[in-house]
Amino acid sequence: MIKGCIFDLDGTLVDSLKDLAVSTNHALEACGLAPHPIENYKQYVGNGVLKLVERALGEDHQDLFDQCLQEFMDYYKDHCFDYTAPYPGIKELVEDLHKAGIKLACVTNKPHTVAEVIVPKLFGDRFITTYGGCADYPKKPDITSLNLALNDIGLTKDECVFIGDSNVDIETGINASMKTIGCDWGFRGEAELKTAGATKIAYKAHDIKEYVDDWNK
């Protein structure tokens, strides 16, 4: 019986790619470097802000890491809602799951200070708990933050499904021995999600509710 859904944030619940790209490009230009096309950032995101900055800098400019990271954080905290919005059908999905009594949580590698602002601003009180990346615990695919979320919502791994858009998310669910749903509309796409071993692939938001309903028959 599935009683809870634990979601990734970027590329799963919200399309934040442009804000992440614009903020990182701002940081690169502040460091005297050329910006990247927005499309490139689909491969840079997913493992937290440190990896995002590291990948954007490239091997030849890691000496600028600290400066670039600070420039990113200073800019992004004031611009994380410039373009970021839920994907089509996501708000309706969240409401449908809530009405069905499904408990919701968010576990993301996005900085915790940003995630805990974005989730309630876009989804109100529908998510019981949110865990973002911070120094207190390792990032996904480590399952520490996932286990903390399970504890907060009072459910076991067998009662929940982990939902995300990248191999990192699918690996997180697998590491916790949970069912997983890969979101085809996100940053990485169907091929990566299937290769990672997703239990199901969702092609539109409502597919997630249908999968949960099927598991609960």
Q: Which residues pair with 124 in a beta bridge?
A: none
In the set 8, 10, 19, 169, the catalytic residue is 8
DSSP secondary structure string for all residues of the chain: ---EEEE-SBTTTEE-HHHHHHHHHHHHHHTT-----GGGHHHH-SS-HHHHHHHHH-GGGGGGHHHHHHHHHHHHHHHTTSS-EEPTTHHHHHHHHHHTT-EEEEEEEEEHHHHHHHHHHHHTT--SEEEEEBTTBPPTTSSHHHHHHHHHHT--GGGEEEEESSHHHHHHHHHTT-EEEEETTSSS-HHHHHHHT-SEEESSHHHHHHHHHHHT-
Which of helix, strand or coil describes residue 113? helix
185 phi/psi in degrees, rounded to 5: -80, -5
104 phi/psi in degrees, rounded to 5: -120, 140
Residue pair 85/98 in contact by the 8 Å Cβ criterion? no
8: annotated active-site residue? yes
Q: Catalytic positions, please?
A: 8
